[in-house]
Structure 1
Amino acid sequence: MVPAGGTRIGWQDLPAPVRARVERIIGGRVVEAVSQTGGFSPGTADRVVTGDGRRAFVKAVTPVLNERSAELARQESRITAALPGHVPAPRVLGSFDTGDWVVLVLEDVEGAHPRTPWVETEIDAAVTALAQLADALTPPPLDVPAVSDHLAEGFAGWRRLAADPPADLDPWAAGHLPELIAAAERGVAAISTGDTLAHCDIRADNMLMRPDGRLVIVDWPWGATAPRWFDRVLLAMNVVVHGGNPERVIDGLDRWTVADVLAGWAGFLRDASRLPPPPSLPSVRAFQRWQADALLHWLRRELRTSGPGPIG
């Protein structure tokens, strides 16, 4: 496994006026800050505690570190603030954007990421949470782009790889490029309609298991309209990549559609892995390559044997 992660700054790296404004939101002076690993932002991701025991989760980034990360932080602030209070997501305590710093202050959710390889009880908890999300977020509570707008270019990755194949392209993929291109195009068509606000970045490190067994979905910068089953397919992808039983996720979905969408993701990730790493995110390309290779192993079987079934 290639670990996901950027080169993060921490609470003490924030300018004093930014820290003071966060403390006013929380309601006390921060006396402890623990940086969280994982994710692909170079900004802060700190669990903080005030002198009187109040807790919060602070995310802050500056465009100086990575312009795209600052844009995503702005999107996350807008989307998270619009989520209804009953969805399995953190509550927003406050946010602000100075131009130089984008800051989001969230409820500190007690819990840990699901284990990988995935275990069945946590897969089931994730499936339950995603069903709750889909019910609560149909129709979407705010205007966001369609997920196909985000992914149409990325899902053309196999076509770009066919035009300029790398020397180390997986031999099976190299021999099945027409099938992979066609599957990815069907995948784009499948996700082009939908009236649900989907998270669109479902991974183990974007989830927290509470002590009571309930699961919370965190990190919302990529929210977009999609079919209600889209996040479930992303969960299946994460289980495939990290290990576990994806059948617990796929059951009830159209396996052809699942295979087509994951073929699109595999091409997206393999093509993107050829690019130079963005600023402050040195491991992202290796992480993308690792995911693409794991998906190809699964697709070798599914593109040959998957058959139609009911959409969940």
Structure 2
Amino acid sequence: MTAGADRLRPEWPSLPAGLRAQVEAQLGGDRTSDSPAQGGFSAGYAGVVRSAERAVFVKAIAAEGHTDSRTFLRREIRMLRAAPSGVTPRLLSVIDDADGTALILEIVPGIHPGTPWTDGQLHAVAAEIARLAAATAAAPIPAARESMLPSYARWGRIAEDHALAAALPLRLQDRMPQLLQLEASLPDALTGTALAHGDLRADNILIHGERARFIDWPHARRGVPWLDGPLLVPSIEASGGPTCAESWRALREHGAPDAARLLPVIAGFASFLWWNQAQPEIAELPGLRAFQRAQADPILRWLGELL
């Protein structure tokens, strides 16, 4: 499973000259090099930009660039400003004007986990999710029951789509009434004040030593503790790592609840992936539907085991 869109991100010279000049002014000297990142699902630039004096991580997009990508970048700025200190990358500077939007961050050291995941990586990530689960989030970080609905409540629409419903594993086809009941309970199941990253997968994780750090925060939410767990484990299995059930056992060693307590969330994310993988491709984000499809298969199997 490719943890990102099937294309290279824009190169530094493709950004508007005025936006590049403003970013380079933050470097304290002329830019000497840049190293673009290639993962993730965004049509904007992301990478390390260096001068002789310093290096920073930059995420930027032109004003006329992909509208959703600019919206998510602006949302990430709000989330980083609101998040508790110590759990997100440090925000150094923001540019948002007629040329475009740029987010300038400290460089987070580390490597992405996976291909395949190791036991040590999984436990490092579990410990960091536990850190978030113990942190209290406040507005403007949105409540999960508001930001995740209706996107994570698609069983009703799946049930009405004969082709999608018929392609489900037989065990889930037979339990559609139970899935609809779980969907009805999802708003209450999401409610809480714990901080969640909201889009946790290998390309949004960096591991340095024994510590995992999470990057890319536009989907931050406040909700039930351990909300990130069900959103993460399907991507681990899809990339050749442990199964969802095996990964969850590792998370439980760090304080995660029994998976049955988060069953509405697991079912909700399964409906999100299964519904979205069947939707038309987004031209600016090639590979997104295949990425969602690769995660849908393991979470549907796990959901069937839990019902």
TM-score for the superposition, normalised by structure 1: 0.87
1:49 aligns with 2:53: no
Alpha-carbon spacing, 1:250–1:235, altered in 2? closer, same or farther (3 Å) = farther
Counterparts in 2 of 1:15 and 1:6: CA distance versus 1, 3 Å: farther
| 1:62 partner amino acid | A
- Separation (CA, whole Å) in 1 of partners of 2:301 and 2:40: 24
2:20 maps to 1:19: yes
Percent of matched pairs sharing the same residue: 35
Q: Which runs of 5+ in 2 are unaligned?
A: none
2:196 corresponds to which of 180, 188, 198: 198
Partner of 1:104: 103
CA contact (8 A) 2:114 2:236 kept: no
Judged with a 3 Å threshold, the aligned counterparts in structure 2 of structure 1 residues 290 and 115 are, in CA distance, closer, same or farther, namely closer
Q: Equivalent residue for 2:34?
A: 33
- The counterpart of 1:217, out of the listed 209, 214, 228, is 214
Structure 1 residue runs without a partner (length 5+): 304-312
Matched, 1:118 2:117: yes
Q: Deviations over 1:33-76 (max 9, x none)?
A: 11112111010011122134x11111012353321111110010
Identify if the C-alpha distance between structure 1 residues 35 and 180 changes in structure 2 by more than 3 Å, giving closer, same or farther. Answer: same
Q: Which residue type is aligned with residue 154 of structure 1? A: S
CA RMSD of aligned residues (A): 2.1
Change (3 A) 1:240 1:257: farther
> Hey, what does 2:80 align to over in structure 1?
80
Query: Given the superposition, is the C-alpha separation of residues 260 and 116 from structure 1 closer, same or farther in structure 2, using an over 3 Å criterion?
Result: farther
**Are 1:183 and 2:187 an aligned pair?**
no
Question: 1:181-224: per-residue Cα shift (whole Å, max 9, x none)?
Answer: 22333334311x211232111112111011x2211111010112
Q: Which position in structure 2 is the counterpart of 1:308?
A: none
Cα distance in 2 for partners of 1:281, 1:101 equals: 19
Range with bigger deviation, 102-111 or 58-67: 58-67
CA deviations on 1:242-287 (whole Å, 9 max, x unpaired) are 3223110145413213333111111111111222222410111121
Partner AA of 1:151 in structure 2: M
SS in 1 for 2:282: coil
User: In the aligned structure 2, how far is the partner of 1:23 from the partner of 1:188?
Assistant: 45
Query: Partner of 2:302 in structure 1?
Result: 298
1:80-128 Cα deviation digits (max 9, x unpaired): 13334432x2111111111441110111112111124322111111121
Count of residues paired in the alignment: 297
- Seen in structure 2, the aligned counterparts of structure 1 residues 146 and 10 have a Cα distance that, compared at 3 Å, is same
* 1:69 is the counterpart of 2:66: no
Q: Does structure 1 conserve the Cα–Cα contact (< 8 Å) formed by 2:267 and 2:303? A: yes
Aligned position for 2:163: 166
Question: Residue type matched to 1:82 in 2?
Answer: A
**Contact in 2 for aligned 1:6/1:39 (Cα 8 Å):** no
Alignment of 1:238-249 (within 5 A): 238-242=235-239, 243-244=241-242, 245-246=246-247, 247-249=249-251
Moved over 6 A (4+): none
Q: Are residues 64 and 176 of structure 1, via their aligned partners in 2, closer, same or farther at CA, if it must alter by over 3 Å?
A: farther
Q: Any idea what SS the aligned residue of 1:149 has?
A: helix
- Distance of aligned partners of 1:206 and 1:70 in 2 relative to their CA distance in 1, 3 Å threshold: same
CA pair 63-188 structure 1, distance change in 2 beyond 3 A? farther
Distance 1:272 1:260, change over 3 A: same
Among residues 256, 271, 274, which one is paired with 2:275 in the alignment?
271
Question: How far apart in 2 are the matches of 1:126 and 1:216?
Answer: 8
- Counterpart of 2:131 in structure 1 is 132
C-alpha contact 1:138 1:195 (8 A) present in aligned 2 = yes
Instruction: Assess, with a 3 A threshold, how the Cα gap between structure 1 residues 83 and 156 changes in structure 2: closer, same or farther.
Output: closer
Q: What is the TM-score of this pair, normalised by structure 2?
A: 0.89
* Shift, 1:139, TM fit: 4.2
- Aligned counterpart, 2:10: 9
Q: Is this contact kept in 1: 2:64–2:100, CA < 8 A?
A: no
